[in-house]
Structure 1
Amino acid sequence: WAVIAPNISAQWNFNLAMIESIRAAKASYEAGEISWEQTAKEMEVNVKKMFYGLLLQEESLNIQRDKLNNAKARYEQASINYKNGLVPELSVLNSQVNYENQKPEVLSAEQSFKQQKDMFVFLLGLPFGTDIELKGTVDSKFVEVNADELVSKYLENNDEVRSLKKNIELLNISLNASRFSTFTPSLSVNYGFQPIVYAGGEWNSLGDATDKGSLSFTLVYSNLIDMLPFSANMQKMKDTKQQIAQAELGLEQLIQNTEIEVHTLVDNLYKCQANIEAMMRNVELARKAYNSTLRAYNNGTQELLEVRDSENSLNQARLGLMNEKFNYISALLDLESKLNLNLH
């Protein structure tokens, strides 16, 4: 009698397509990283734009508050001038009506600003009602950039370009895997071993077992039908080739569109810079005109309408300047995001 241990066997299969599968897994992981980076950068740009937008809205609110305070001061000055006999009662009433009409506008602007701050808090992932204080200015240093140089050096950094290139790489890997799986054999290595532990009253070590095992090598081709031109497998490879061609065409179009967008953003930067410089001069002129008109009104030599027109011109110039600065920052953020670089 004898004691026979359980059968021990091992099998290893290999095909060149397995190498492509490893490459595909690696490329798929890298594509996921690109997608995650793109989403994170988009969120960062949105947060920055909303932050500067809130600063712009806060500045607009401050202008409205200044306008309300000025209206109150004119009403009080008109009352003093009326008591001194310098202006008729109608001037006092007009200035009072103008003052009272601006109060609801300021309250509405304050409520709108509060709602936007709450939205910003939500975007940051903070609990609702969290009070935040904005610190910063809608301002940025002017940068000197050349669109052609940016395109030649940094176009490949664009996340959409990187993502599409990675997808093309995945399609090519998939096509190669299909080819290897179809046209190359699979190697199968088998080894079996069943040791006899006890036989004829003697104990045998595994090395001395009477069963020395068996080793076999087998080359196996897939179903020959898959190699036929009209088979589903071959049609799948044709479809993959067509997808690659379409993706490569899309990549060319994407590169051209990105180049156009970069030139447009750079043009916007210089346009905003020129507008900002012109508007800064305009603000100074409007402020001088307003101060001159206000002094004349306080002395009773100018009508209230002239003061209001002068003040509106000043406020429009200030808001226009702030808006243009915001446009410059937005264009700069878009350009940095488009090419994955830091320009300021």
Structure 2
Amino acid sequence: MKHNRVLIVCITIMVCAGTLSAETNLTVDEAVQLALENNLSLERTKVDMEGKKRASDRSWNNLIPSVTASGSVSHGTALVGDLSAGRDEWSSGGSLSASWSLSPAIVSGIKQTKTDYESGIITYEEAKQNLELQVRKAFYQILLYRANTDLIGQSIETAQSRYEQAYRSAQAGQVPKLDELSARVDLENLKPSLRSAEAQYMNAMDSFKQILGLPADTDISLTGTLDNDSGTIQVTGIRNVNESYSVSSLRKSLELLEAQKSTAWNQAYMPSLNLSWNTTPTYGSSSKEWTDNGSFSVALSFKLDNYLPWSSAREQIDSYNDSITNYQSQITEALMNSENQIRQHQRSIEQSLESIDSLRLNVELAEETYAMYEESYAKGTADLQSLRSAYDSLSEAKHNVQQEYYNLLSVSLDLEKELNVPFGTLWQ
């Protein structure tokens, strides 16, 4: 029984250790979801938005009357002579006052607060979109680094095989000793390149974990390849139905400026109505009587100095007008820039698709050429330099294909962001 317990404990420890060291596989969509849940920068933007929502929800409290209550006990004092009979007593009392101010500026201020909250929503949604774009681009860039690392690893295996073949041929006197040395140099030169590629991959992975909000010691791997994830991209018949968040943000900023101008104008030129009421009941200890000097008042006030052409209020309103004109110009320019960006991205995608077709043919040609030289070298009818050149051409052709796949995915993401459509919409 004792041995069974020990065995169970050992199995449990092994299972737990395997669970802790297990590697998490992530697709691009899963990585995006992790970032949306854990990214610290996005969380700060969300807190700002929620603060603006709270201010918007409570903006109506400016319409609540101001109410003050107090209580007091007093006794007269005199430094010279005696107190008069009416003052030589303790008196207690209290006061209750209420005031209510009404102005068009209050209503426009409420609208301004709500507009500020709507601007915060756009800012938050834009931050989410930018984060998703960053995650997807980083994901595909890591796939590119991984493909490059794998390609160098394959080159090392090929160089190792070529060196062993050259060594055997040199020992048999079939090729010069120089071929063996050249093959050894090729093999050793590739090893630093592999270490550099691995370091680049690991550095990118560390930055990626930070974006996802994961601890640095978390073991993750990315599921996917550049050629499979690109799929078929449709760029024909694309219409700019939704404005980009950058344009929407400018429009909302313009709306907020107009609300601020309206508030400033109402404060400067519209009357303010103030209703106030107070009661101050006082009880005399000697007279045993209550007295009350309460009052109710209605006041309508104007700030006449604001009507002067050089007043600070007029200068503030003129400043708002200048800012509004500025934002209108920025919106027009942003719309033109967005249309240009869409056209440029479409052309880049079409060019990239054509390049991929051409680069694939280059890979096929390079593979056939390398196979031919490999066979000829084995027969002794081709020299080592020709074989090395053929393999370098093949490696470069494969790398160029992977690089172009990354370019295609990257520019398609930029296009989807500019169109303000869900990422992946263009991919079939």
Question: 1:262 & 1:189 partners in 2: Cα distance?
Answer: 58
Counterpart pick for 1:250 among 327, 330, 337: 330
**What corresponds to 1:6 in structure 2?**
94
Cα drift, residue 121 of structure 1: 2.3
Aligned length: 334
> How is 1:62-73 mapped onto 2 (pairs within 5 angstroms)?
62-73=150-161
Aligned with 1:189: secondary structure?
strand
1:48-69 superposed Cα distances (whole Å, 9 cap, x missing partner): 2112111101111111111111
Q: Name the SS for the 2:319 alignment partner.
A: helix
Residue 215 of structure 2: SS of its match in structure 1? Answer: coil
The residue aligned with 1:282 is 362
Match of 2:418 among 325, 334, 338: 338
Residue deviations 1:227-271 (CA, integer Å, cap 9, x gap): 111211111111111110111011101111111111111111111
Residue 189 of structure 1 contacts residue 216 of structure 1 at CA under 8 Å; is this kept in 2? yes
Are the aligned partners of 2:283 and 2:291 in contact in 1 as well (CA < 8 Å)? no
Distance 1:9 1:115 in 2: 67
CA distance in 2, matches of 1:159, 1:112: 33
Structure-2 separation of matches of 1:129 and 1:255: 44
Looking at structure 2, the residues matched to 112 and 46 of structure 1 have their Cα atoms a distance apart, in angstroms, of 18
Tell me the distance in 2 between the aligned counterparts of 1:21 and 1:109: 57
Give the one of 114, 126, 150 matched to 2:239: 150
Give the structure 2 partner of residue 126 of structure 1. Answer: 214
Residue in structure 1 matching 2:346, options 259, 266, 290: 266
Aligned Cα root-mean-square deviation (Å): 2.8
Could you tell me which amino acid in structure 1 is paired with residue 184 of structure 2?
Q
Select between 272-281 and 28-37 the one with higher mean Cα deviation.
28-37
**Residue range with higher mean Cα deviation, 74-83 or 174-183:** 74-83
Q: Equivalents in 1 of 2:271, 2:204: separation in Å?
A: 64
Give 1:72-151 correspondences, 5 Å limit.
72-139=160-227, 140-146=230-236, 149-151=238-240
Gaps of 5+ in 1: 199-208
Question: How has the CA–CA distance of structure 1 residues 196 and 112 changed in structure 2, closer, same or farther, with 3 Å as cutoff?
Answer: closer
Match of 2:394 in 1: 314
- Letter of the 2:136 counterpart: K
2:312 corresponds to which residue? 232
Q: Rate the CA distance shift 1:259–1:7 in 2: closer, same or farther, 3 A.
A: same
Is residue 170 from structure 1 mapped to residue 234 from structure 2 by the alignment? no
Identity of matched residues, %: 31
Report the more deviating stretch, 107-116 or 44-53.
107-116
Alpha-carbon distance in structure 2 between the residues aligned to 1:263 and 1:62? 35
- In the alignment, the residues of structure 1 paired with residue 402 and residue 295 of structure 2 have an alpha-carbon distance, to the nearest angstrom, of 84
Q: Which amino acid aligns with 2:265?
A: R
TM-score normalized by the length of structure 2: 0.71
Native 8 Å contact 1:191 1:213 kept in 2 = yes
Question: Which residue does the alignment assign to 1:37?
Answer: 125
